A and B are shown apart, each in its own frame.
Chain A
Amino acid sequence: MTTAPEFSLCEQLIVAASEAWRGNGELVATGIGPAPRLAASLAKVTHTPELMMTDGEAYLVEDPVPLGPRGYDDRKPAGYLPFSRFFDAAVWPGKRHAMVTPSQIDRFGQTNISYLGGTYDQPKVQMLGARGFPGNSICHINSMFVPAHSKRVFVEGEVDMVSSVGYNPARRIAGATFDRVDLRLIVTDLCVMDFGGTDHAIRVVMLHPGVTFDQVQEATGFALQAAAEIEETAAPTAEQLAIIARLDPHNLRATVLKDNPAGKRT
């Protein structure tokens, strides 16, 4: 394993994010968006080959499908997981770990992709709707990818509409089971966080080279905890970079972070 001399911050984040799926076993690894999808693919190609994955449509594949234009029939299905089986077979039985990019995240790990501002009846900004977030968050493992760490994403109070379940005790319903709520990593352009703090509080576990804890705190709307020892996020190896390049032949990863910064901050 050799450390490559040149890499982008996005490539470093992809490698860090791929760690979310390490040792997950046979479940569907879903990365929504170019970087999370490359991270899931990298995890399957390198450290956790037993992961399952779809072609983004209806088939399960053993070789992750590259991003972007290619021959329609290039994919080689190994199995079948159409939308009509996805909730039955992957989401509700808990056989999935998704990495998503919410518009808002609060201190409890509750997220919002429904709307911003205003009210449920008249939102100021309508977004996607809750999509599968309520079911995903109460049934299976979830991680998050945040390309621009800011107080607009990591909000001070609760998110505007709780689309996904977090660890908020006030949202627990007596007699109901929240045992499967399992939030793992939050990978941002500044750091890697987990939910290993007091009562699942969000905790900084890695800082990207050149970033300080105070900088992360400054960009976050709530108090963060710090791991006992905060590591520096590792640089990608040449092998990892080669796999990422093969899976992203059109370099869509260059569009994920504003101005596609280098991994080494100056």
Chain B
Amino acid sequence: MAELILCGRGGQGIVFLTRQIGQVLSAKGLNVVSSETHGMAVRGGSINSHLRIGGFFSPLIRAGHADFLISLDATETDNNKHYLKPGGLIVENSTLAEEPGIKRIDAAGLARELGRVQLENVVLLGYAATLEGFPVTVEQIRGQLSKEPREQVRSLNLRALQAGVDAAA
């Protein structure tokens, strides 16, 4: 059992990440349920996804229950911190230094180096997947991203993933 919140601004590709993780776990035969934001808020507003692994029915995480908070926009972290359980871990896209309970990586900067800031979500996922207790492994995500049929999208995503993984090393 694990519960994850992913947050950020509309347009940052949070839904994409949620789907990749969910798809990997579904294929493994696990029970996964998630919830995502669509509609008006996606126009640059605050959005989050909930992802729950285990015998859950509801797609929503209650405040104080999440194991991980994956934040693509540091200004959104505060809006979602209350979901975290005591001892839960924040993984944030930020240029600041790490502190206890918060892992940070400049995913946007690494993505820009790859030529597209839009890849920041995949960079952050690559980084998060190296962390202890994270519900999917780098290998599993790589396998999932490799299924993308469009050659260019696939290779960019794989490079972004690797950039995140390397940053953790």
Q: Indicate whether A and B interact.
A: no
